[in-house]
Amino acid sequence: MKDVYITALAKFLPNQPVTNDEMESHLGMIGGKPSRARRIVLRSNGIKTRYFSLKRDGSFSHSNAGMVVEAINQLGIPSKDIELLSCGTSATDQTLPSHTAMVHGLLNSPMEIISPSGACCSGIHAMKFGFLSVKSGECSNAVTSGSEFISPMMMARNFESESSSESELESNPFIGFEKDFLRWMLSDGAGAALMQDKPNENGLSLKIEWIESRSYANEYETCMYSAADKNDDGSIKSWKEFEPTQWLDHSVFAMKQDVKLLGSTIVPLGGKYLTEIAERRKLDVSSVDYFLPHLSSNFFRKQVYEQLASDGMEITEDKWYTNLVEVGNVGSASIYIMLEELFNSGKLKKGQKLLLMVPESARFSYAYVLLTVC
């Protein structure tokens, strides 16, 4: 089995950053009224700017596939030399063809492709397929990505009027408007990585020590969903079960989240899983130099720290590296964008250890990655 190295990272964030005050001019107002959730959710998540492919006039500057290609083109490898392309996303441009097929269609050469579906962990699932393919010798290089084109799903036209009260949201940030909550957190963008079986001859590389992922869908009901609605018993009703005339009435194609379930579940699972990995992999978290947690909201930052500490996995906050405030929550692309910024920051030194954490609330999954700077 070969060693596998990330030798290049790139990101693409469309257009100019959108401030909090500019958001509703892009997304619109539900029922023609300013959102009651917006101020409270933004205060809780700490996001100051994010990026939208959606423009003020309702047109789009880039498709999801188009943003991925913009990132891939910055990796420094000609498309004719790419052997494997693996792209994860939670917001495909269409249901068919697959997301990676559409990305490949914008490139110039034949190659193997695979399209991991899902939410935030799909970018890591894409990375793991590339990692295992290079490690096994099936190919000598792989390009993987995470990307999101969420803003059209957050437009006011896709939502029903809100019904929750502001007092509930004030008293508990987990309780939000099921269909309005995510509007103030999500961002568009893409990140890409080049993996090879040899490190860079000049400059730094990141050796992939391991990639671990775990689904807890057998234990928990659906938390975040789209193209569906949630029944009172926790089951999901697919868009295929609705009459077309009901799609708008039920906001079927909007992205929604059961925030009460999110609050009670997502953080404890992360500590539990890392504890299992550390025992099995003989990981001493004190050896980690940088911790890159994908946070959907800064509201979770303190909780994640306290959970890991209580599980004996404390990573002091001086080792944390995040960019949520500047770029927003870019779902499956967030971990790529964070890693790209750190990799190209000039801060890394050979021998340092990087631990990546990616939670996914859709049906509750977690992924961790350990990298060594070399």
Q: Is residue 85 part of a domain?
A: yes
Q: What average pLDDT score do residues 60-75 get?
A: 98
* pLDDT score at 278: 98
* pLDDT score at 174: 40
104-118 per-position pLDDT tens digit: 999 989 999 999 999
Q: Which residue has the higher pLDDT, 354 or 250?
A: 354
Q: Which residue has the higher pLDDT, 271 or 44?
A: 271
Looking at the structure of the chain, the number of domains it has is: 2
Torsion from C-alpha of 216, 220, 224, 227, nearest 10 degrees: 100
Give the CA diameter of the chain. Answer: 59
Q: What average pLDDT score do residues 49-54 get?
A: 96
Q: What average pLDDT score do residues 344-367 get?
A: 97
Q: What average pLDDT score do residues 95-107 get?
A: 97
My answer on whether 187 and 114 are in the same domain is: yes
Whether 85 has a pLDDT exceeding 80, the answer reads: yes
321-338 per-position pLDDT tens digit: 999 999 999 999 999 999
My answer on whether 125 and 216 are in the same domain is: no
pLDDT band at 228 (very low <50, low <70, confident <90, very high): very high
State both tokens at 130: 């590339």
Domain that holds residue 92: 5-202
244 preceded by a cis bond (ω within 30 of 0):
no
Burial of 287 by CB count in 10 Å (0-12 exposed, 13-18 middle, 19+ buried)? exposed
Contact (CB, 8 A) for 121 and 128? no
My answer on whether 73 and 190 are in the same domain is: yes
Write down the mean pLDDT value for the chain: 92
CATH number of the CATH domain containing 167: 3.40.47.10
- As a whole number of angstroms, the distance between CA 301 and CA 320 comes to 10
Q: Is residue 88 part of a domain?
A: yes
Q: Is residue 233 part of a domain?
A: no
State both tokens at 230: 């949630």
My answer on whether 111 and 190 are in the same domain is: yes
My answer on whether 211 and 342 are in the same domain is: yes
Q: What average pLDDT score do residues 277-287 get?
A: 97
Enumerate residues 6+ apart whose C-beta is below 8 A from 230: 222, 236, 237, 256, 258
141-190 per-position pLDDT tens digit: 999 999 999 999 888 877 654 434 445 445 544 433 455 677 888 999 99
* pLDDT score at 179: 59
297-319 per-position pLDDT tens digit: 898 999 999 999 999 999 999 99
